[in-house]
Amino acid sequence: MLSASFRRYLHTGDRQGQAKNVTFYIQVAVLSVGFAILVSSIGLLYGVKKPNFWLYTYTRPVHLVPLAVASDYTLSPVSYVQGKAFNRFVTIWLENTDYSKAAGDPNIEFFAKKGITLNNYFAVTHPSEPNYVAAVSGDYYGINNDDDNIIPANVSTVVDLLEEKGISWGEYQEYMPYTGFTGKSYKEEKTRKNRYVKKHNPLIMHASVADFPDRRACIKNFTLFYEDLKSNKLPQWLFITPDQQNNGHDTSVTYAGKWLRGFLEPLLDDPNFINNTLVLVTFDENDTYSKQNRVFSILLGDVIPKNLIGSADKGFYNHYSELSTVQANWGLKSLGRYDVGANVFDLVAQKTGDSLRSLDITKVYLNESYPGIFHRKKYAPLPVPDTEASFAGRTVLESIRSIWGKVQNKSVYKGAPLSIPSLRNPPIYPREYSRRKRRGGN
Is the per-residue pLDDT at 208 higher than 60?
Answer: yes
Here the CATH number for the domain that contains residue 158 is 3.40.720.10
222: left (phi over 0), alpha (psi -120 to 50) or beta: alpha
Check residues 126 and 68 and name the one with the higher pLDDT: 126
The radius of gyration of the chain's CA atoms, rounded to the nearest angstrom, is 22
Q: H or E segment at 253? A: helix 253-267
What is the pLDDT at residue 354? 98
Check residues 192 and 382 and name the one with the higher pLDDT: 382
Does residue 293 lie in a domain region? yes
Q: What is the SS3 assignment for 99-144?
A: HHHHHCCHHHHHHHCCCEEEEEEECCCCCHHHHHHHHHHCCCCCCC
- pLDDT confidence band for 164 (50 / 70 / 90): very high
Does residue 8 lie in a domain region? yes
- pLDDT confidence band for 434 (50 / 70 / 90): low
Q: Which residues pair with 93 in a beta bridge?
A: 282
The DSSP secondary-structure symbol of 418 reads S
Give buried/exposed letters for 283-308 (b at 16+ CB in 10 A, else e): bbbbbeeeebbbbbbbbbbbbbeeee
Same domain, 337 and 284: yes
Mean pLDDT of 38-62: 36
Q: How far apart are CA 237 and CA 89, in angstroms?
A: 5
Same domain, 282 and 377: yes
Same domain, 291 and 329: yes
Q: 51 vs 39, 58, 65, 68, 129, CA distance in Å?
A: 9, 18, 12, 9, 30
Same domain, 346 and 389: yes
Is the per-residue pLDDT at 65 higher than 70?
Answer: no
Does residue 216 lie in a domain region? no
Is the per-residue pLDDT at 45 higher than 50?
Answer: no
Is the per-residue pLDDT at 355 higher than 50?
Answer: yes
Q: Which pLDDT tens digit goes with each residue over 366-417?
A: 999 999 999 999 999 999 999 999 999 999 999 999 999 999 999 999 889 9
H helices of 291-359, in order, are 320-330, 346-352
- pLDDT confidence band for 112 (50 / 70 / 90): very high
Burial of residue 424 (number of CB atoms within 10 Å: 0-12, 13-18, 19+): exposed
Please check whether residue 32 is in contact with residue 66, taking contact to mean a CB–CB distance below 8 angstroms: yes
What is the pLDDT at residue 52? 35
Its pTM stands at: 0.84
Question: Which residues form the catalytic set?
Answer: 250
Q: How far apart are CA 419 and CA 314, in angstroms?
A: 16
Same domain, 117 and 53: no
Q: How far apart are CA 233 and CA 98, in angstroms?
A: 35
What is the pLDDT at residue 22? 37
Comparing C-alpha atoms, which of 157, 122, 156 is closest to residue 422?
A: 122
Same domain, 298 and 164: yes
Q: How far apart are CA 88 and CA 303, in angstroms?
A: 10
- pLDDT confidence band for 63 (50 / 70 / 90): very low
What is the pLDDT at residue 188? 87
Does residue 260 lie in a domain region? yes
Q: How far apart are CA 174 and CA 259, in angstroms?
A: 12
**Which segments of 254-385 are extended strands (E)?**
277-283, 297-300, 311-318
Does residue 11 lie in a domain region? yes
Mean of the per-residue pLDDT values for the chain?
87
Q: How far apart are CA 20 and CA 4, in angstroms?
A: 16
Does residue 394 lie in a domain region? yes
Comparing C-alpha atoms, which of 230, 107, 209 is closest to residue 163?
A: 209
Phi and psi at residue 314, to the nearest 5°: -95, 5
What is the pLDDT at residue 25? 39
Same domain, 118 and 63: no
Same domain, 62 and 116: no
Is the per-residue pLDDT at 43 higher than 70?
Answer: no
What is the pLDDT at residue 189? 84
Lowest-pLDDT choice from 38-52, 136-150, 195-209? 38-52
- pLDDT confidence band for 358 (50 / 70 / 90): very high
User: What range does the domain containing 33 cover?
Assistant: 4-71
Same domain, 135 and 274: yes
- Non-local (6+) Cβ contacts of 332 within 8 A are 161, 162, 164, 165, 326, 394
Same domain, 117 and 253: yes
Same domain, 271 and 327: yes
Does residue 329 lie in a domain region? yes
Comparing C-alpha atoms, which of 316, 435, 439 is closest to residue 380?
A: 435
Is the per-residue pLDDT at 258 higher than 90?
Answer: yes
Comparing C-alpha atoms, which of 341, 313, 332, 277 is closest to residue 138?
A: 341
pLDDT cut 70: percent of the chain above it: 81
Comparing C-alpha atoms, which of 393, 342, 363 is closest to residue 135?
A: 342
Q: Which pLDDT tens digit goes with each residue over 5-40?
A: 333 333 333 334 443 343 433 443 444 444 444 434
Q: How far apart are CA 348 and CA 228, in angstroms?
A: 27
What is the pLDDT at residue 50? 35
Number of domains in the chain: 2
What is the pLDDT at residue 192? 85
Mean pLDDT of 338-346: 99
What is the pLDDT at residue 12? 32
Please check whether residue 295 is in contact with residue 283, taking contact to mean a CB–CB distance below 8 angstroms: yes
Does residue 159 lie in a domain region? yes
Same domain, 120 and 261: yes
